[in-house]
Amino acid sequence: MSERDRGDRGPDRGPARPVLDPSLVGGDPAAVPPLAADVFDAMPVGVGLFGPDGRLRHANPVLVDLLGAGLEALRGRTLPELVEDAEQGMVDERLHELVDGRINAFECRLVASPAAGSGLSWLIRAHVAPAFGAAGAIDGLVLQVFEFGPAGAPPPLPAGLAEVLEEGSDFLLTAGPDGHLSYGNKSAREVLGVRVLEGAAHLEDVLESGSLEYYREIVEPQVFSEGSWQGELTFRSREGRAVPVSARIVAHRPTGSVDPGPGAPRSVSMFARDITELKTAERKLRQLATHDYLTGLPNRLLLYDRLEHALNRYVRYGTTVALMFCDLDGFKPVNDHFGHHVGDIVLTEVADRIHSAVRDTDTAARLGGDEFGVLVEGIEDLEMLAMVADRMITAISQPIRVEGTTVLIGVSVGMAMATSEFHEADALVAAADAAMYRAKAEGGNRFVMWDPDREGPDDGLDPVHARPQGPPDSPGFGVGLRPPSE
């Protein structure tokens, strides 16, 4: 392969002989349309466009960077001028076969000039295919890079690299075949408490128990057989805190030793980066996606997901499932009179009361606005379910003190229980919602049970299971605002 630099592609080969020209193919040898250039410039891979004359019309920024020459220096060159010397003849033949229709595409190797200061040449593998004009005839070529990498041996490591690794914020550990640590950089010693100088450091000292088991069963065999592994592990800090890391582990053998062969124990080096902040951000995103931002309760999405799983358990194991929809009575006057700030405080207090009124195994969720939902599993008796609803209504109906004012609200609850003929999630949701609206229509601050077996004018709403529950010192049912007692 000849020496090449960014601006000079070697000895002058004379005028480039067009491989594609208007006499062989159709189309007008016009410039690349601006829209097409913009599209190719935005692509994350190297792309080049050749005109009907076989000369490069446009190269996107990625290809320009890989070839190590400016766009103006590249424009006008033919494909044989951009490939390795040994491939020029092959490319000429493939281009003619492409024009004749004997092949649909081919691959070739481009050569980039040595990057400034790196001492490396880059081999670039590209896919070449015809571009067709409006009439369906070949109107040029499209070149797309699909693989590239340095050619030849890498340059020697720069002086001072050991100091950089020693002082780096990432963890660097080296362990022998038996797991004893022979090296740990400054970060590993300070954060993980690695005691290399005492000869007592071991991988067991830095890996959390779950990660240690995973390392022994999965990671170590792969490292010994394939030479490397990359993934996530959990370290344990010197204070016992879990430290999630993104790690790469490579196997090596001491200089001058005999290669033990694939699968045999080897010394390894481990490069690891603390990703605690990333994991915290991921947890927050998951929390935002599945929980209500104001109350911290599960949101509608998570409640419906748990409902689907609960109904699957009901079908498989017979574990009973009931769903409650709750809509606050008298909440709108609170918002209208005191504003959303006070309304948010009331909603947060209601969420706490609902959560305290149900069992730990139940799911209390905020569905939106002043609507809440409760998923109850494992209650065999309707009376027990009624007790849960009574307890929740009583708790919510208690006065709420907000910024010097006592707020009185109530709640209308609709309930539906899955049966052998009635266990679809959408149907259960619709039934609980309809029962809740019936409870509100009958005066509120009560619950109504949906009975799927009941037929008649009540459309499955069973008044036998409708119980009023009025707030204190109100006749039957009342919702209002009371100033604090003097």
- The position carrying tokens 């590249």 is 74
The separation between CA 113 and the C-alpha centre of its own chain, rounded to angstroms, equals: 38
User: Please, how many CA atoms are within 13 Å of residue 335, restricted to the half-sphere of its CB?
Assistant: 10
Element (H, E) at 59: strand 56-59
Q: Name the residue among 314, 304, 397, 296 with its Cα closest to residue 351.
A: 296
The separation between CA 1 and the C-alpha centre of its own chain, rounded to angstroms, equals: 44
370 as an active site residue: the answer is yes
- The position carrying tokens 């053998």 is 253
Q: How many other CB atoms are found less than 10 A from the CB of residue 72?
A: 8
Cα–Cα distance between 139 and 150 in angstroms, integer? Answer: 33
Is 46 within 8 Å of 124 (Cβ atoms)? Answer: yes
Cβ-count burial of 316 within 10 angstroms (0-12 exposed, 13-18 middle, 19+ buried)?
A: exposed
Beta strands in 352-454 (DSSP E): 363-368, 371-377, 400-402, 405-408, 410-417, 446-450
Which residue out of 370, 433, 451, 462 is catalytically annotated? 370
Catalytic (active-site) positions: 370
